Amino acid sequence: MNAAELDALVRQFLVDHKLSDTERQVLKDWVAKNIGNEHQRAVARSRIFEAARSSVGDPQAAMVIEFLEDALRVVVPMTPPDQSTAPDEVFFSPGDACLQRIISRLNGTRLSADICVFTITDDRISAAILELHRRGAKVRIITDNEKAFDEGSDVVRFQQAGIPLKVDITPFHMHHKFAIFDGRRVLNGSYNWTRSAANSNCENVVDTGDPAAVARFQHEFEQLWTKLS
């Protein structure tokens, strides 16, 4: 996606704060050439709103534009693709393969992410989780109490952002490492969401849209969520 070209077009269109018929067609042509999936569409929409906010000098008007963007995320969410039909894939570390798949799934999620992971300390993943929450998706996190406040843990950041989060309250470990995206796809494996898992450890992640597997993991998440209430 040519984001710089979009930014230039929008700045040009905003000079008179109107979208003429000609400009509308130019924008349609740009979308046809550059938008290939819902993630790219969401990024483009976000950049247009940001340009609109930057074009007004009145702080109250900027707040109204931000309100409109947030409201549209709720009222008119992007349509999630049918990920259940995508092929199952397996990824290994050391290396960025597992990390990139996790971030890709978070960036492509539109409605919900249920995350059940022993420890989360990789800021690259945490940033994607926080952005997903900011976009209006329903995010829930379950993690282990002994790891929740380790050095580098992002649990406090999630809580401060208003993400619902629960921790294991037993003397044992909540050792799962899985996440369900839009109720249609699950990532599972040995991979903790940490930099050491990407940089040093021999780990794995399985990405599947098998309906039976997704349903089983969703059931496990809901049981844990209720148990930890």
Instruction: State the DSSP string of the chain.
Output: --HHHHHHHHHHHTTTT---HHHHHHHHHHHHHH--SHHHHHHHHHHHHHHHHHH---HHHHHHHHHHHHHHHHHSPPPPP-GGGSPPEEEEESSSHHHHHHHHHHHH-SSEEEEEES-B--HHHHHHHHHHHHTT-EEEEEE-HHHHTSTT--HHHHHHHT--EEE--SSS----EEEEETTTEEEEES--BSHHHHHT--EEEEEE--HHHHHHHHHHHHHHHHHT-
Q: Which of 144, 168, 182, 207 is catalytic?
A: 182
Q: Which of 28, 175, 219, 227 is catalytic?
A: 175
175 is catalytic: yes
Q: Which of 147, 166, 176, 177 is catalytic?
A: 177
147 is catalytic: no
User: Which residues have a catalytic role annotated?
Assistant: 175, 177, 182
